[in-house]
Chain A
C-alpha cells in the first residue's frame, strides 16, 4: 500500500502500531476495518468469532489494555464494532493469547471444569469478558460478574454452568493470577506509547464503506481536520456508526474519531456543573467519583445501557449526537437541564440540550462543529430524580419507552420521554401541570395525549401510550414511597 505523506506534518497513513497478545505490531489497515476483521481476516486468528456483527452477541469480545489517567485498564470490547484504527497505541488481547489447549489459563480451565461450553462458538467471548472482569477487580461480586457477561449471548448452556465457573474464579483468583506475565510486561510500554495522529485513507477504488478514517492526536488536530472536512461524520465510540457500516452497509466519506483524545476523555467539575468530555465512555462515568456523588441516577441508568463491552467505548456524547428518539440517556439529560459545549476551529458555543434536538435524528450541530463537552448542572440534593426504561429484556436491549423525572422541593418539575415521538421531548403539560397536590392519574393521562408514539418492532403505539401513564404512576409510587 502506498504511503502518502502530507508535507510538514507527522500524519501516518494506513499504518497502526499496537501490541497483540504481548507482541508489538505495525500493520497497514483499511479505513474503517473492524478489529474483528483485522484479527480474523488479516491476522488469521480465528478464535474471535463473528456471530451478529453488530455488537449485540459478544462472540467477538476481545480485551484492550490501555493507559488512562495514569493507570492501565483492561476492558472488554465487542471487536466487530470497534474500529481497528482505535487499537493504535493499545494492547489487544485475544483468546489465543490467554492459553493453549495444553496450557490453559485459569479461566479456560474453570469453564471446562463446570461444563461451561457446549457448541463452543460463544466461548472465546465469554473467556475474554471474564478475563477483563477478573483482571480489573479482585474477587468480583455476583453483580460485577453479571455485568461483565450481560453482553455475551449463549444459546446452548443457559448460563448456569458459566456462572458457576465465574463464581469459582472469583473466589480463588485475583488479578495477580489472572493477568499473565506477558501482559504485565507490556504495561510499562503502554505509558510511553506515542499518540500520533493517524489517517487511514482508502488506497484505491474499492468497495470499502469508509473512504477516510481520521484519528487526531489532540484537540487542535481535531479542529484542523474538521475545518478540512466540515461534512465529516464524527465517531466517538463508534458503537452506532459501525453497526450502520456492518449491517446497513452505509457508506461514509470521512469519519473523524475523537475517542482517543486525552482532552476529551476527562470528567471535570466547575461552578457550571459536571463536564463530561465527548470521548468519555459510559464505563468511565460509572466509575467516576464525581458522577457517583452528584449524578447517581445517571450512573444507575448507565448500567441499563447496552452491555459492558459496549459501555467500555460507547459514549454519552455519541448517544446525544446520534439523536435517536430512543436514546437511553436523553430524557434524563433533558431533566438535568444539560448544556452542550459545541466547538469548531474558530469558536465555541453553548447550546441547551432541549434546543439541540430539532427533529427525527436531526440536531443543531453545524458543519465543522463537534460536541466537546456535556455540561450537567449539579441538581440540588433534595431533588427527586429518576429514570425508567421499558424494554423486552432486562439487559442489553433498546428501549421501547424511556423517561426521566425531576421534582424539586419548590414544586418545580420536569418530565421527559423517549420512544414516544420523533425526538426525545420534555413534557410541557407536566412542567406546567404538576403541583404537590396534583392528581397523578389525571396528569398522566393528559401527558399521554401530548406525545405521538408509533408502532414498530419494539412495541405498539398503544403499548407505548400506556407506558407513558405507567411510567408516571411508577414515579408516583417512588416519590410518595
Chain B
C-alpha cells in the first residue's frame, strides 16, 4: 500500500516554522490590548471610572461601551450579548473596558487603576437555582413519539433517575487572539483565531457600524479549537477590530492562559431527570427525560447544544415511546459554548446511565442489553428520521470480538474475587452520532481554486485548519480530481475576501462541506482543461478520446497512458486559449430539514457508528485508577486518509477520558473559576493513556456518506471516553452495588462514592 501523505503543514510544524497568529514580529506602532475584567458575577454598574487608566504613561486609549460606533451587540442566535455591558454585569471576568498601550505590562498595570462602582445583584451559578427561578433563554423544547405516559404505566419495570455531567475547559494550546491591521484606511484586516470567519466579519461590521466588506477576516491556522473558537473567538476579534478602528493603529489582543480559562465559556454541564420503562428481558418500552444545561450568562450556542443533546438522548437504541424535553438555563458564568460533541455526549451519557441501571436491576449482561435495544434499519428516531444503513449492532458485535468480551468478564470477576483493595470494571459504549449542523442553513460551503501558469495550484475554502487536517484532506480531494502531486497543491488560509459567508468549521462537517466545494471547483477546472487536453492529444498523438485521466501531474487518454500531456504544458496552453484557470465551487448538503415546533424532521445527513469497551483497575484506598485496555471499533466508511482519522479517534477518546475522569471545573462563591490554569485544571498527559489501546477503523460502504464515500470523524469518537467512566462505576459497584459515582470520576469522587 502506498504511503499516506504527511500532514500538509507537518514539515512546518515539526521544524517550528509554522506561524500562528502573534508569531510575527510586532508591527511598528502596534498597540497591545488588555482588559478590565469584572470582579463581580452579577451587578448593576453605577460608575466605571477609566480616567486613571487613561492618564497612565504609555497608555494610548481606554475604550468602553460608550465608545462603540455601531451597535453594542455581539449576540448571534439571540441578540442578548453586548461587547461591553453598559448597565448589567453578567459574569465574573466579563470585559468592561479595553486598554490599549505600548506594551502588555503597561496595559495590565493601567487596568488595575480602573474603578468600578456597582450594585451587586444576586448571582445564579447552578442549573438547580436557574430552574427554580425559571431562567431560560427560550421556552422548553420538546421531541416526542408514541405515548410515553401510557407505556411507563404498562411497563413491567420503571426506574427513575438523575444524571449529571460536568463542564470542560477546551484547553486549546493556543489562547484566544486576534491581530487587527488597518489597510488602505477603509479595510480592517483581522488575523483572527476563529472557527467562524463569517460570524466575526458580520459582528465586527455591526459593532463598528460599517459594511461587512470592510472587514477582512483571515485565519492562517489555529493552535487547536475544539469548538472553543466557534463563538468564543468573536468577542476578542471584535475587540481588536474596535481598537484598530478607533485608534488607527495595529492592535493585538492575546489572552494569557489564566485569562482565557477564567473568562471564556466551556462545555455545558447538563442535569437530567429521567424515567425509563422496560420489560423483564430489558427491552426498553418508554424513555421520558428532561435535559437541562447550564448556558452561562448569554445564550451563545446553548439552544443548539441543547437540541443536539436531545437528538442524542436515544443514542443508538430504538424506543417506541419517547418524550425528550429540554431547557437551557441562564446563569452568571461565562457563556458556555460549543465543545466537541456539542451536547451529544451529555445526551448519550444519560441513556447509558439508565441502561447501566437496567442491567443492574435485571442482572443482565450490559452488552446483551444494548444489543437487544439497538436500532434496526427502518426504525424511526424520536425526531422522525428514518434509520437506514445502521451498523450499531455490528459495531457492538465487532468490538466484543476484538476485546474478547467473555474472557474479559471472566478475568475481571476472577481478579475481583482475589483482591481486596483493588477492583476492576468494564464499560461498554456504543455510539450513533448524527452528522450535519442541525440548523439546516449552515450546511453550505464554498471553495475557490486558482491554477497558476506553472501548473501549481492554490485552493481556498471557507474551512479553518485547526489540526484536524482539513487542509490535508482538501489537498487530497483536489489531487484526486486533477491528478496533481500533493506538493503542487497549496491550501490557503481561510479568508472572507476569497471565500465569504463561510459556515463555522464545526459539527464535524469541515471535510464534507468544504471538501465537496473544493471537489466541485476542481471538477470545473478539470472540465475546462479536458477540452484543451483533447485538442493537445489530438495534435500531438492523433488521439481522439472522451475518457481522459488526470494523474501523476499528467493528462492522458485512458487507453493510451504512455501518450500524455504534462499538466504545466496543459495549463499554459489553456491560458493561451483564454480558458479560465480559476473556479468557484459551492456545495449545500441535500435533504435536511427540521421543524422545531413539531420536533420532527430529517436533521442529519447520515450517522456515524462505533463502539468501545474499556477495562479499568481501581485502588479502593487511593481512589486512583488505571485504564488497562480500551478497544474501539469505529465505522470509517471510505476514509480519505486513515492516519488522519486514527488521530481524530484517539485524540477525541483521550480528550473525553479527561472530561470523564480528571477535568474538574471549580468555582468559588463569587462565580470565579478557581481551576484557571494547568496547575489546577488537569487535562490528560502522556501517562494517562490506556495500557493497551486498540482502535480498528472499519471501512464500510455507505450511500449516504459524503465526499468520496467518506464520513465525518471529528466528534463521534469523543463518546468512547465515557466507556471509562462506566467501567469505573462498574468497578465501584463490584464492592458497593448501590454506590453512584459522580462526574468527573476523580480520585476524590471515587473515594466519596466508596465511603
| Residues in B neighbouring A398, C-beta threshold 8 A | 679-680
Q: Check: A98 CB closer than 8 A to any chain B CB.
A: yes
Q: How far is the CB of B221 from chain A (nearest CB, A)?
A: 7
Interface string of A122-154 (1 = CB under 8 A from B): 111001000000000000000000100111111
Interface residues of A in 29-52 (CB under 8 A from B): 40, 44-49, 51-52
Q: Quick check: A57 and B173 within 8 Å, CB to CB?
A: yes
How many Å lie between the Cα of A193 and that of B636 in the bound state?
A: 58
Q: Quick check: B685 and A150 within 8 Å, CB to CB?
A: yes
Q: How far is the CB of A255 from chain B (nearest CB, A)?
A: 18
Q: Quick check: A392 and B15 within 8 Å, CB to CB?
A: no
Q: Quick check: B468 and A118 within 8 Å, CB to CB?
A: yes
Q: Check: B532 CB closer than 8 A to any chain A CB.
A: no
Q: Check: B650 CB closer than 8 A to any chain A CB.
A: yes
| Residues in A neighbouring B18, C-beta threshold 8 A | 120
Q: A152-B686, A392-B662, A392-B746 given as contacts; is B11 within 8 A of A54 (CB)?
A: no
Q: Check: B224 CB closer than 8 A to any chain A CB.
A: yes
Q: Check: B558 CB closer than 8 A to any chain A CB.
A: no
Q: Quick check: B16 and A156 within 8 Å, CB to CB?
A: no
Question: Which of B103-111, B313-321, B381-389 contacts the other chain?
Answer: B103-111
Q: Quick check: A53 and B256 within 8 Å, CB to CB?
A: yes
Greatest chain B CB density within 10 A among A101, A113, A149, A397 is at: A101
Q: Check: B174 CB closer than 8 A to any chain A CB.
A: yes
Q: How far is the CB of B673 from chain A (nearest CB, A)?
A: 9
Interface string of B4-18 (1 = CB under 8 A from A): 001101111111111
Q: Quick check: A159 and B689 within 8 Å, CB to CB?
A: yes
| Residues in B neighbouring A153, C-beta threshold 8 A | 171, 173, 678, 683, 685
| Residues in B neighbouring A175, C-beta threshold 8 A | none
Interface residues of A in 232-270 (CB under 8 A from B): 243, 247, 249
Q: How far is the CB of B645 from chain A (nearest CB, A)?
A: 10
Q: Check: B752 CB closer than 8 A to any chain A CB.
A: yes
| Residues in A neighbouring B108, C-beta threshold 8 A | 249
The one of A112, A159, A477 in contact with B654, judged by C-beta atoms closer than 8 angstroms, is: A159
Q: Quick check: B15 and A157 within 8 Å, CB to CB?
A: no
Q: Quick check: A392 and B13 within 8 Å, CB to CB?
A: no
Interface string of A440-481 (1 = CB under 8 A from B): 000000000000000011111011001100110110010000
Q: Quick check: A146 and B621 within 8 Å, CB to CB?
A: no
Q: Check: B624 CB closer than 8 A to any chain A CB.
A: yes
How many Å lie between the Cα of A393 and that of B744 in the bound state?
A: 13
Q: A118-B468, A119-B467 given as contacts; is B172 within 8 A of A207 (CB)?
A: no
Q: Check: A283 CB closer than 8 A to any chain B CB.
A: no
Interface residues of A in 351-384 (CB under 8 A from B): none
Q: Check: A96 CB closer than 8 A to any chain B CB.
A: yes
Q: Quick check: B467 and A56 within 8 Å, CB to CB?
A: no
Q: Check: B651 CB closer than 8 A to any chain A CB.
A: yes
| Residues in B neighbouring A227, C-beta threshold 8 A | none
Q: Quick check: A46 and B751 within 8 Å, CB to CB?
A: no
The one of A160, A460, A474 in contact with B689, judged by C-beta atoms closer than 8 angstroms, is: A160
| Residues in A neighbouring B15, C-beta threshold 8 A | 47, 95-96, 98-101, 104, 108
Question: Which of B19-27, B136-144, B343-351 contacts the other chain?
Answer: B19-27
Q: How far is the CB of B715 from chain A (nearest CB, A)?
A: 14
Q: Quick check: B224 and A121 within 8 Å, CB to CB?
A: yes
Greatest chain A CB density within 10 A among B173, B647, B679, B680 is at: B173
Q: Quick check: A392 and B664 within 8 Å, CB to CB?
A: yes
How many Å lie between the Cα of A115 and that of B755 in the bound state?
A: 44
Interface string of B672-692 (1 = CB under 8 A from A): 001101111011111111000
Interface string of B737-752 (1 = CB under 8 A from A): 0000000001110011
Q: Quick check: A463 and B748 within 8 Å, CB to CB?
A: yes
How many Å lie between the Cα of A445 and that of B646 in the bound state?
A: 49
Q: Quick check: B106 and A52 within 8 Å, CB to CB?
A: no
How many Å lie between the Cα of A51 and that of B655 in the bound state?
A: 18
| Residues in B neighbouring A112, C-beta threshold 8 A | 6-7, 10-11, 14
Greatest chain B CB density within 10 A among A96, A151, A163, A470 is at: A470
- Which B residue sits closest to A162, measured CB to CB? B686
| Residues in B neighbouring A108, C-beta threshold 8 A | 11, 14-15
How many Å lie between the Cα of A124 and that of B666 in the bound state?
A: 31
The one of B226, B643, B686 in contact with A155, judged by C-beta atoms closer than 8 angstroms, is: B226
Q: Quick check: A393 and B651 within 8 Å, CB to CB?
A: no
Interface residues of B in 580-635 (CB under 8 A from A): 621-624
Q: A47-B17, A155-B655, A160-B650 given as contacts; is B467 within 8 A of A54 (CB)?
A: no
Q: Quick check: B682 and A393 within 8 Å, CB to CB?
A: yes
- Which B residue sits closest to A99, measured CB to CB? B15
Q: Quick check: A46 and B23 within 8 Å, CB to CB?
A: yes
How many Å lie between the Cα of A199 and that of B684 in the bound state?
A: 40
How many Å lie between the Cα of A474 and that of B623 in the bound state?
A: 11
Q: Quick check: A53 and B686 within 8 Å, CB to CB?
A: no
Q: Quick check: B751 and A467 within 8 Å, CB to CB?
A: yes
Q: Quick check: A120 and B223 within 8 Å, CB to CB?
A: yes
Q: How far is the CB of A319 from chain B (nearest CB, A)?
A: 15
Q: How far is the CB of A254 from chain B (nearest CB, A)?
A: 19
Q: How far is the CB of A90 from chain B (nearest CB, A)?
A: 20
Q: Check: B421 CB closer than 8 A to any chain A CB.
A: yes
| Residues in A neighbouring B675, C-beta threshold 8 A | 457
How many Å lie between the Cα of A180 and that of B622 in the bound state?
A: 45
- Which A residue sits closest to B752, measured CB to CB? A463
Q: Check: B644 CB closer than 8 A to any chain A CB.
A: yes
Q: How far is the CB of A257 from chain B (nearest CB, A)?
A: 22
How many Å lie between the Cα of A391 and that of B682 in the bound state?
A: 10
Q: How far is the CB of B689 from chain A (nearest CB, A)?
A: 6
Q: A156-B467, A393-B682 given as contacts; is B173 within 8 A of A49 (CB)?
A: yes
Q: Check: A94 CB closer than 8 A to any chain B CB.
A: yes
| Residues in A neighbouring B60, C-beta threshold 8 A | none
| Residues in B neighbouring A470, C-beta threshold 8 A | 621-623, 751
- Which B residue sits closest to A109, measured CB to CB? B14
| Residues in A neighbouring B685, C-beta threshold 8 A | 150-153, 159, 393-396
How many Å lie between the Cα of A111 and that of B10 in the bound state?
A: 9
Interface string of A261-304 (1 = CB under 8 A from B): 00000000000000000000000000000000000000000000
Q: Quick check: B11 and A390 within 8 Å, CB to CB?
A: no
| Residues in B neighbouring A391, C-beta threshold 8 A | 747
| Residues in B neighbouring A56, C-beta threshold 8 A | 677-679
Interface string of B489-514 (1 = CB under 8 A from A): 00000000000000000000000000
Q: Quick check: A158 and B653 within 8 Å, CB to CB?
A: yes
Q: Quick check: B11 and A101 within 8 Å, CB to CB?
A: yes
Q: Quick check: A59 and B173 within 8 Å, CB to CB?
A: yes
- Which A residue sits closest to B6, measured CB to CB? A112
Q: A111-B14, A392-B664, A474-B622 given as contacts; is B25 within 8 A of A155 (CB)?
A: no
How many Å lie between the Cα of A310 and that of B113 in the bound state?
A: 35
Q: Check: B181 CB closer than 8 A to any chain A CB.
A: no
How many Å lie between the Cα of A391 and that of B664 in the bound state?
A: 12
Interface residues of B in 675-732 (CB under 8 A from A): 675, 677-680, 682-689, 693
| Residues in B neighbouring A113, C-beta threshold 8 A | 6
Q: How far is the CB of A86 from chain B (nearest CB, A)?
A: 22
The one of B106, B687, B747 in contact with A207, judged by C-beta atoms closer than 8 angstroms, is: B106
Q: Quick check: B680 and A457 within 8 Å, CB to CB?
A: yes
Interface residues of B in 382-439 (CB under 8 A from A): 421
| Residues in B neighbouring A96, C-beta threshold 8 A | 15-17
Identify 8 new A-B residue pairs, CB closer than 8 A, beyond the known A118-B224, A155-B651: A155-B226, A156-B467, A158-B647, A160-B650, A207-B109, A390-B623, A392-B747, A474-B622
Residues of A within 8 A of B (CB): 40, 44-49, 51-54, 56-57, 59, 94-96, 98-102, 104, 107-109, 111-113, 115, 117-124, 127, 146, 149-163, 207, 243, 247, 249, 388, 390-398, 400, 456-460, 462-463, 466-467, 470-471, 473-474, 477
Nearest 6 Cβ contacts at the A-B interface: A47-B16, A119-B467, A121-B223, A120-B13, A95-B16, A158-B654
22 residue pairs A–B, Cβ–Cβ below 8 Å: A52-B677, A54-B257, A56-B678, A101-B15, A115-B10, A118-B469, A119-B172, A119-B224, A120-B467, A127-B16, A150-B686, A153-B678, A153-B685, A247-B677, A392-B746, A392-B747, A393-B662, A393-B685, A393-B688, A394-B685, A467-B623, A471-B621
